[in-house]
Amino acid sequence: MPVEPWFVPLAYAFILLGDNFGHPCVSWSHVYNKREMNEYPSPRNNASIVPRLMLARKFWAYGKTIVSYNDSGSRMSIIRTGRGTQLSDSPHALMVVLLNTHPTDIEFVQLDVGLWNVDTIWKDVTQQTAGLVEIINSNGSGVGTFGVMSRTVSVYVNCNDPNYVEVEQFWL
């Protein structure tokens, strides 16, 4: 039985962006959004999601993985701490990954991305979620409200990161 097309980018997010979530491997047809006759369909609306996830792995998938879930079990948040071992160690190369399996709801979550990120702007490099996230000082922590559309993945990074522009302008 084939995997539902909407789930493919979520599976790649686990494999490519998590720490010890699997061996990083991608299908050619998902990278180039191509398929042959009698093959399973490519994921919807993801002409560039898989390559962008690959770039996110290259630039930001470092450090400890901090995972949290919502009460309903439909949303998962992954924070990669960057090159440090703790969230407080590394002001660079930090990444927030949100996965949503709910069929209709947009999910929002407030996450602490470190006090050094206060007054910075973050954006979803997969381009699945429109808008920007401003990080504010909340009780001595850098907090932002991140969103993810239904049945997709969003990867947020600081727009001031030197690698952000390369991923933002990427296309196949």
pLDDT value for 148: 92
Domain assignment of residue 2, yes or no: no
Read off the pLDDT of each residue in 5-24 and give the average, rounded to a whole number: 85
CB 59 within 8 A of CB 45: no
Q: Is residue 152 part of a domain?
A: yes
Structural domain includes residue 116: yes
Residues 6+ apart with CB under 8 A from 76: 67, 68, 69, 98, 99
pLDDT greater than 70 at residue 89: no
- Establish if 37 belongs to a structural domain: yes
DSSP-assigned beta bridge partners for residue 97? 78, 155
pLDDT of residue 71: 67
Q: pLDDT tens digit string along 42-53?
A: 444 555 789 999
For residue 56, pLDDT beyond 60: yes
Which range of 68-72, 91-95, 120-124 scores highest in mean pLDDT? It is 120-124
Give the pLDDT of residue 94. Answer: 81
Mean pLDDT (whole number) for 138-157:
91
Domain for residue 1, yes or no?
no
Q: What was the pLDDT predicted at 46? A: 53
DSSP labels for 66-112? Answer: EEEE-TTSSEEEEEE-TTSSSTTT-SSS-EEEEEE--SS--EEEEEE
Determine, yes or no, domain membership for 84.
yes
More confident residue, 1 or 76: 76
| Three-class SS state of 135 | coil
**Residue 22 resides in a domain:** yes
User: Residue 134's domain is classified under what CATH number?
Assistant: 3.20.20.470
pLDDT at 95 (0 to 100):
87
Angle at 76 between CA 93 and CA 126, to 5 degrees: 50
pLDDT for 44 equals 47
Pairing of strands 75-80, 95-100: antiparallel
Torsions phi, psi for 141 (to 5 deg): -130, 155
Cβ-Cβ contacts under 8 Å for 104 (sequence gap 6 or more): 150
The pTM of the full predicted model, rounded to 2 decimals, is 0.86
* Mean pLDDT calculated for residue range 129-150: 90
Give the chain's domain count: 1
Q: Report the side by side order of strands in the sheet with 121-124.
A: 65-69, 75-80, 95-100, 152-158, 121-124, 132-134
Domain membership flag for residue 61: yes
Q: Which domain holds residue 127?
A: 7-168
